[in-house]
Amino acid sequence: MKKLAFLFLAFIGLGIQAKAQHDPSDQIMSTNWDVIGSVDFKTVKETEMYAIFNNEIKKYANKPFELEGYIVPIKDGMKQTKFMLSTLPINQCFYCGKNGVPIMVQVDLVEPVKFTYQTIKVKGILKLSTANAMDQPPVSLVSGKVL
**Count of domains in the chain?**
1
List residues bridging with 1 in a β-sheet.
Answer: none
Q: How confident is the model at residue 104 (pLDDT cuts 50, 70, 90)?
A: confident
Q: Which residue has the higher pLDDT, 24 or 97?
A: 24
pTM: 0.77
- Contact (CB, 8 A) for 103 and 117: no
- Contact (CB, 8 A) for 124 and 73: no
C-alpha 44/C-alpha 108 separation (Å) is 28
C-alpha 114/C-alpha 77 separation (Å) is 9
Chain centre to alpha carbon of residue 98: 19
CATH of the domain at 60: 2.40.50
C-alpha 7/C-alpha 110 separation (Å) is 22
CA-based nearest residue to 102, from 54, 43, 33, 56? 33
Domain residues for the domain of 54 are 2-146
- The average confidence (pLDDT) of the chain is 81
Residue 80 sits at the vertex; the CA angle it makes with 129 and 123, to the nearest 5 degrees, is 55
Return the minimum-mean-pLDDT range out of 15-24, 50-59, 73-82, 112-121. Answer: 15-24
DSSP label at 33?
H
Q: Which residues contact 64 (CB under 8 A, 6 or more apart)?
A: 123, 124, 125, 126
Q: How confident is the model at residue 83 (pLDDT cuts 50, 70, 90)?
A: very high
Q: Which residue has the higher pLDDT, 13 or 120?
A: 120
Residue length of the chain? 147
